[in-house]
Chain A
Amino acid sequence: MTFVRDDLRPVQRRAAAMLAVTVVALATFMVRLWVLQVVQGQRWREAAENNRLRRLPLEAPRGMVKDVRGEVILDNRPAYQLLLFPEEMSDPTRTAAFLTHLEIAPADEVRARLEKARRTSHLPSVIADNLTWPQVAAIAAHAAEYHELEIHPATRRSLPPGATVAHVVGQLGEVSPEQLVERPDLRPGQLVGRSGLERAYQDVLGGTPGNLVVVVDALGKQVSALSEEPPVAGRPLEVTIDLALQREAVAAMSGQVGAVVALDPRDGAVRVLLSQPAFDPELFAGHLEPARWHELISDPLNPLHDRALQALYPPGSTIKPLFATGALKDGIRTPFDTVYCTGAVSIYGHPYRCWQAGGHGRMAIEQAIEQSCDTYFYYVARDAGIDRLASWARMFGLGSPTRIELGGENPGLVPDDSWSRRARGQPWYGGETISVGIGQGPILVTPLQLAVAYAALVNGGNLVHPHLVPGKGGAPQPIGLPLEALAHVRSGMERVVNGERGTARRLGNLPVRFAGKTGTSQVMRKKEGVKWYELPWEQRHHALFVGFAPVDEPHLLVCVVVEHGGDAASVAAPIAARIIQRAFGPNAGEGDVTATVPPIWQNTSLPPPPSPGSETGVAGETVPPTAALEPAHPANRAEGRPPVHAATTSQAPPTRR
């Protein structure tokens, strides 16, 4: 037997090749380790820290807001928030199903919030707040399954009952992505002021959120706390609002649509700022559900609209004292020039009627204000011309924002020739000047602007900067009005309430004397022989009243605008009177002031749905209370004025005959 030794050299060559490949691969892995551990070490160390450290936001309680007498307008109450740690979420569908089951929100809303939280940041986001106890208990019980969820104690804004301060305090809202970019100290999901005082004084009220750094394991269980950076609570804010007066305004305005502004005419400190209807600020205290939001924005009365600052109204006869002052200042009229009112005049070939069909007779400036004689002011307007009227209006701050802290103001409109050419592409039509002379036509103001203008009228001719926080107003700016002119105009306004032919003389025997001016601005062309309360709501005139007290040295000026209120003297003036009685009357602090004030005619035909129940159902059926049925004597005002719609600025020349 011949033994043939097996030739192993091919096998050895191939084994050597294998060895070489293996060594090269192992060397590659060595390089890989070097890259991971040495070159990229810092990055992975940070990733490991992110893994184990969890930064829990500690929300700063927002500052309280107190009114001028120290009563709390806005406070906090405890609530529970639900935080989501997006990186921990393994199955969004499962989490969404769980949260939907707990009735945190409807299914698609929950999904939207989770999706948003995942997109926004790797930091935890607040996905629900104001959790109920059963929800808190259920989430706590399932903490091991859903370690992306965490219950967090927090606070929520609370408002006192009865005071409708919604538009003043404004809304909180989740911080927007743009704000996050600008302000690195804000956190995703944090609530910040979106409007009103909450936004204007976010820096005061907001405070600084804190942090709690804890070590967690892979299941999200807290192993230990590393450090705590406590939140700094927001500072309290004292505002000039007088909650007692605000409440009185809310009560007086109930069932009406419009705005009330009250301020101290000496410095512009705002005492009452009310827009009706208002919304429930509780809706915005946390996360607003789209359904509720839709409900709010589809309300025809638009509760979100802050009528005091944003709505424009033709000032109607309330413009007359302003133009009277201007006329006296520029020497267009002396206090003793008279006009004979026959109830109708013809200017530029067109007839214009005074609201008093039979005419007022001979009128000097004080009587013209007292009785709101249109004829007198038609001639003032004709003699002054539109540019002068506009300059007077601007002198009182109309046509530009009042710069109140809240922002979002409408600047209003003071028309003149250049405006007409710019906005309408046609020259100013002289006939319109006559309408503007009695506050109709394209001239439009906000209730706040009107209050500021009147403040200058009664404080000796100084334009104030309205403000909500003491000291933010600055010094009033003198506008150079002769004191004598102001005295005559003020005397006229005193006679409006206290004179024997004043348009608001039914309020002349109240415990507290006050003065003011009525204004009924026309929305639709007046129908012959139809009482104003027989018209549908949206066709009635706007009712305005600006009043002030005490008469000799006014401390409080109240501007009331009631949309489609119908009649100034029986709707707007009593509202102002109630606020003034509340401020200065015998039982100013507490008690009922309504007994002393004639009843306010209540709207019974507001369009649906202002609020369920009372106001809507009986439109046209309910007869107003007798006291209001024959309101004063100027029941049919606005006679002979051209038809103007409140919101429109374009206008046909007055061709009424």
Chain B
Amino acid sequence: MRRLDPWLLIAVLAIAACAFLAQSSTAKALAAPGHANRQLVWLAVGAVVLLLVAFADYRVLARLSPLLYVASITVLLTLFAIAPLRGGTRSWLAIGTYTVQPSEFARVVTILAVATLANEYRQSRLNFAAVWRMSAVVAAPALLVLLQPDLGMALTYIPILLGALWLCGLPWRAWVAVLLGGAVVVAAAWLYLLKPYQKERVLTFADPQRAPYSSGYQQRQSKIAVGSGGITGKGLHSGTQSQLRFLPAQYTDFIFAVWAEETGFVGAALLLAAYALLVIRVFMVALSARDRVGAVFAGCAGFVLSTSILVNVGMVTGLAPTTGITLPLLSYGGSSVLATCITLGIVQSVWRLRYANV
């Protein structure tokens, strides 16, 4: 236990505490008292899972990663056959009375698979074949998720590939190619893939006056919630924006706004600091990992975490468009909490074994 990173654990506990308080507030607003308690149970389970994984050997997991990868692809494929249609997507799997979102766990497995793959190319720059293999490894699950269709979740797979390519190194000409390819993909997506409401969101972000009563509504309500919190906030369970339900999707995408409204700048800054501590510690693990698997895994995990945080908080504070990307650990959802905890558990494992002999 002493060989685990205490700062990372403290950050997780602090975020978990904020998550429970914020969720209890939205539970009151939405008159669903069960929500907060369930989130608390998942956070507790997540903490236990984190510790269990931390005491496993990440190198063993890396060796098992091809198996895990094939399994997760299989699950994603079977979703199309057996998952019920919920909210227009087939991304949820019902197990008894619980629902599981396999794409969350598939993401952890993908990070692990990419890190394991990176270990085969122990040079300072990746070659062409390595780039293709890595891209394929990430693209397969991402495409399956995209077809569910769950665009927001599919987008969170992109940082995995970008993070891995960055960490393992690419010649600058390759980066140019990647950026051009990305631009082509974005343009193609805009023309052929994005649905009108998704385009509307992006346009609304670019010009908030565009449609003040539809797409812009959510972001405006979010900014009102955050801004009206002031320095010390309106008090827990007293936020008018959340309690009177002006805030949309407040237990998932916009949970940060609930916290910011009720605890003000003080609470929001503390929570952001906790996230900063978490991300810094994860990157510190990447810096001190004893091998390439650990370093790439921790670096990728840190990059995925930080992009999620930045995109979500950016959306809440009006710095990024509305994307439907959740805030790790704070947003409601068992699968998300568990997947994040597993990731952090592996990171802890990398930290614990940083001095271990081969």
Contacts and interface: CB of A to CB of B under 8 A. Distances in A.
B26 interface: no
7 contacts: A11-B169, A14-B167, A15-B283, A26-B306, A32-B319, A33-B226, A48-B246
Interface in B109-127: 122, 124
Given A15-B167, A22-B302, 7 more contacts: A11-B299, A26-B309, A29-B272, A36-B227, A37-B229, A41-B227, A218-B245
Given A15-B295, A16-B283, A16-B287, A38 B310 contact: no
Given A8-B291, A36-B223, A215 B244 contact: yes
Interface of A: 3-4, 6-8, 10-12, 14-16, 18-19, 22-23, 25-26, 29-30, 32-34, 36-38, 40-41, 43-45, 47-49, 51-52, 87, 89-90, 215-219, 223
A6 B289 CA distance: 11
A437 to B, nearest CB: 72
Interface in B159-194: 163, 166-169
A25 B310 contact: yes
Given A29-B310, A48-B225, A218 B269 contact: no
B45 to A, nearest CB: 28
Nearest to B232: A37
Contacts of B335: none
A45 B167 CA distance: 44
A37 B295 contact: no
A14 B228 contact: no
Nearest to A26: B276
A329 to B, nearest CB: 74
Nearest to B307: A22
Contacts of A45: 227-228, 230
Interface stretch (B52-60, B150-158, B260-268): B260-268
Could you say which of A26, A32, A37 has the most chain B C-beta atoms within 10 Å of its C-beta? A37
A469 to B, nearest CB: 48
Contacts of B287: 12, 15-16, 19
Contacts of A16: 283, 287
Nearest to B271: A33
B231 A26 contact: no
B190 to A, nearest CB: 25
Nearest to B228: A48
Interface string B223-249: 111111111000000001100111000
B283 to A, nearest CB: 4
A47 B268 contact: no
Nearest to A16: B287
A25 B286 CA distance: 19
Nearest to B291: A6
A19 B283 contact: yes
Contacts of B279: 19, 22, 26
Contacts of A3: 358
Contacts of B302: 15, 18-19, 22
B230 A38 contact: yes
A45 B231 CA distance: 12
A33 B269 contact: yes
B213 interface: yes
6 closest A-B pairs by beta carbon, nearest first, are A44-B227, A48-B228, A19-B283, A15-B286, A218-B245, A217-B244
Contacts of B318: 36
Contacts of A218: 244-246
Contacts of A41: 227-231
Interface string B275-319: 110011001101101011001101100110010011001100111
A22 B283 contact: yes
B313 A40 contact: no
Contact of B226 (A19, A23, A37, A217): A37
Interface of B: 122, 124, 163, 166-169, 213-214, 221, 223-231, 240-241, 244-246, 260, 264-265, 268-269, 272, 275-276, 279-280, 283-284, 286-287, 289, 291-292, 295-296, 298-299, 302-303, 306, 309-310, 313-314, 317-319, 358
Contacts of A23: 276, 280
Nearest to B275: A26
A32 B317 contact: yes
A37 B318 CA distance: 13
A33 B291 contact: no
Contacts of B317: 29, 32-33, 36
A216 B241 CA distance: 11
Contacts of A10: 124, 169
Given A8-B292, A19-B280, A33-B269, A51 B244 contact: yes
A19 B305 CA distance: 12
B227 A51 contact: no
Nearest to A219: B245
A29 B314 contact: yes
A601 B224 CA distance: 75
B227 A26 contact: no
Given A48-B224, A90-B213, A29 B241 contact: no
B296 A89 contact: no
Nearest to A216: B244
B310 A26 contact: yes
B166 A18 contact: yes
A11 B292 contact: yes
Contacts of A29: 272, 310, 313-314, 317, 319
Contacts of B295: 8, 11-12, 15
B313 A37 contact: no
B268 A37 contact: yes
A207 B2 CA distance: 78
A514 B337 CA distance: 102
Contacts of A38: 230-231, 265
Could you say which of A14, A23, A33, A38 has the most chain B C-beta atoms within 10 Å of its C-beta? A33
Contact of B299 (A14, A32, A34, A37): A14
B231 A37 contact: yes
Contact of A37 (B213, B265, B296, B319): B265
A4 B291 CA distance: 12
B227 A43 contact: yes
A217 B29 CA distance: 11
Given A32-B319, A33-B269, A18 B283 contact: yes
A43 B280 CA distance: 34
A216 B231 CA distance: 25
Could you say which of A30, A43, A49 has the most chain B C-beta atoms within 10 Å of its C-beta? A30
Nearest to A18: B303
A26 B268 CA distance: 12
B327 to A, nearest CB: 12
Given A217-B244, A218-B244, A51 B224 contact: yes
A1 to B, nearest CB: 12
A40 B230 CA distance: 8
